[in-house]
Amino acid sequence: MFAESRLSSLKKLLGQMRDRLGLDVGFILWDGSTIPDGLAPGALALHVADEGAVAALIRRPKLNTLLNLWVTGRLDLRDGTLFDIVARRPKMHTKEFLRVLEKRLVLGVVAKFLFVSRGGPWPLDELSSDKRNSGDPEENRRNISYHYDISNAFYELWLDKEMVYSCAYCTDWNNDIDQMQQDKLEMICRKLRLKPGERMLDIGCGWGAMAIYAATHYGVTSCGVTLSEQQVAYGQAKVRRLSLENLVKIELKDYSLVEGEKIFDKVVSIGTHEHIGPDNNAKYFETVKRLLKPGGLFLHHAITWPGKQKHYNFRRRRTEGKLFNKYIFPGGDLDYIGNTVTMLERHGFEVHDIENWREHYQRTCRHWHDRLLKNYDAAVAQIGETKTRLWLAYLSMSSIMFERNVFNLHQTLASPRRRGPSGLPPTRADLYR
């Protein structure tokens, strides 16, 4: 009796939401009933698997509640993706949203579900904390292993053929991910103005794509370092397969422990600073300065937040940042481009060029999401359904946040500051030939 009353009240509320908000999304409830009645086949719909999911959202209407329900399939989409939900979301603030609905009906639903058990499981509650990175090499290793050592075969399902896991570059907005990543590697080599015989360090080299591309296309000697054991195994096997042992070395090593003074002509860091975080800027930039020869070039490629009026306000934790740290990139954190430039200059660098690839990353993440969704069953076989659904949510929300200018992606080219000419050409026309 009570269960029927709860279900009836919820259906009335959901129907009112559709009518008064113009919500072009249907609902499928745990008893098989739909809102509206006779939901058309193929219509985008949110499936609610049990009444505990409703109770959980009422008691704790937070993003981490939604994410837990999503990864366990207790909230799911039929005939659509998160991109479709966001596209059809009513263009109004939450307060306006609530004013449109009948308060008595809303309160009635809340009262009826408030003490219903939230059910389970809640797998994300067991994951690591959202604390920022201390910079300790062992902590770095654990954080990197969590994200990258889940399965090389899993990443092969949705990355490009060279296994590049960072923002790609569009010379045409309609290019596929393989072309985009090849164009990105080529553009970075051009920005670094690589020459045969030079030595290049790749900080956070991933599966080795950049180090291998630079060696095979520009004749440089590349050293790549990463803290992922699976990435090292994959990269070293690829180097052997291509007979590049004399040109490319992939090592399991923290970037700060690379030995030597002024031994590299070029240093590149692609998507690594997000793991290191701005709290460790001094250690990061001093390490690059120690390793880079006078007259050398450093390309720093990193996701950034837009800046705030005050640095204090920027350092306050954002909800999105906490969720990404806790569930996707433990220990991760983002800088803003103004602070990146300031830190480079404070640590003895001259900044030459800055380019924002935000829209390129929006497309990159969308390609990754769609490829993972296409290979969903194979991904589940590799890492399980919970983590597969978590990665789909992460990739879709990343794409949306880049599209909405919540995230940016900046490439910054710098060199150790010195007197006299920089050695760079008078224009950048050669980059876009």
- Residue 230 reports pLDDT greater than 90: yes
Among residues 71, 164, 136, the alpha carbon closest in space to that of 331 is found at 136
Name the percent of the chain lying above pLDDT 70: 95
* CATH number for the domain running over 137-432: 3.40.50.150
C-alpha gyration radius of the chain: 24
Among residues 137, 136, 428, 417, the alpha carbon closest in space to that of 292 is found at 417
Handedness of CA 409, 413, 416, 417 (dihedral sign): negative
The reported pTM is 0.94
At 73, phi and psi to the nearest 5? 75, 10
Would you state the pLDDT for residue 93?
A: 67
Q: Which helix (H) or strand (E) holds 414?
A: strand 408-416
DSSP letters spanning 151-197: -HHHHHTTS-TT---S----SSTT--HHHHHHHHHHHHHHHHT--TT
- Residue 96 reports pLDDT greater than 90: no
Cβ neighbours for 89, distance < 8 A, ≥ 6 positions apart: none
Q: With bands split at pLDDT 50, 70 and 90, how would you rate the model's confidence at 315? A: low
Which amino acid is located at 411 in the chain? Q
Contact assessment for residue 162 and residue 213, using Cβ atoms and an 8 Å cutoff: yes
Sequence ranges of the domains in the chain? 2-125, 137-432
Region 123-127: what's the mean pLDDT? Answer: 82
pLDDT (tens digit per residue) in 351-382:
999 999 999 999 999 999 999 999 999 999 99
Angstrom distance (rounded) from CA 10 to CA 23: 16
Q: With bands split at pLDDT 50, 70 and 90, how would you rate the model's confidence at 99? A: confident
Handedness of CA 141, 144, 150, 155 (dihedral sign): negative
Contact assessment for residue 231 and residue 207, using Cβ atoms and an 8 Å cutoff: yes
- Residue 31 reports pLDDT greater than 80: yes
- Residue 314 reports pLDDT greater than 70: no
Contact assessment for residue 321 and residue 327, using Cβ atoms and an 8 Å cutoff: no
